[in-house]
């Protein structure tokens, strides 16, 4: 089974030594993804905007892997301030409301104090 590495073009991938996503068979593993806009390497201050950008970044990686958000079976949310999680729910509902993947939210520090959320997903590419 070939292994395919997906890159977003983020400088972090090269600096740290990881891939935005790894495709193994029909499985797609998307790394923890933050709200950075990789085209500008800027990050919005609000958690809602960061959540939206995280999911756009994840969606782009999934598309490169031949998958979509509809294929997501597992999602993990990491927030430095767990009390902010309810602010993300309208955005999450828009992207995952019909998909309803298995999910977990963890409150933990992130690599950059500007980061308010990081999202990691696992997808199983559908055959049709």
2-11 per-position pLDDT tens digit = 899 998 887 7
Each residue's pLDDT tens digit, 66-121: 999 999 999 999 999 999 999 999 999 999 999 999 999 999 999 999 999 999 99
Each residue's pLDDT tens digit, 6-47: 988 877 788 889 999 999 999 999 999 999 998 888 999 999
Is residue 1 pLDDT above 80, yes or no? no
**Domain count within the chain:** 1
Residue ranges making up the domain that contains 50: 3-124
Q: Which of 90, 36, 77 is nearest to 60 (CA)?
A: 36
DSSP-derived pairing of the beta strands 102-107 and 72-79: parallel
The CATH number given to whatever domain includes residue 16 is 3.30.1330.40
């Amino acid at each position: 089974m070939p292994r395919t590495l997906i890159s977003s073009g983020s400088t972090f991938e090269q600096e740290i030594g990881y891939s935005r996503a790894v495709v193994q068979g029909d499985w797609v593993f998307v790394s923890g993804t933050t709200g950075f806009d990789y085209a500008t390497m800027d990050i919005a201050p609000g958690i809602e905007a960061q959540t939206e950008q995280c999911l756009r970044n994840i969606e782009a990686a999934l598309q490169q892997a031949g998958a979509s958000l509809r294929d997501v079976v597992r999602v993990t949310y990491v927030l430095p301030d767990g009390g902010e999680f309810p602010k993300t729910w309208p955005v999450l509902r828009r992207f995952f409301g019909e998909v309803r993947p298995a999910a977990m939210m963890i409150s933990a520090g992130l690599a950059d104090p500007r980061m308010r959320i990081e999202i990691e997903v696992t997808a199983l590419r559908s055959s049709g």
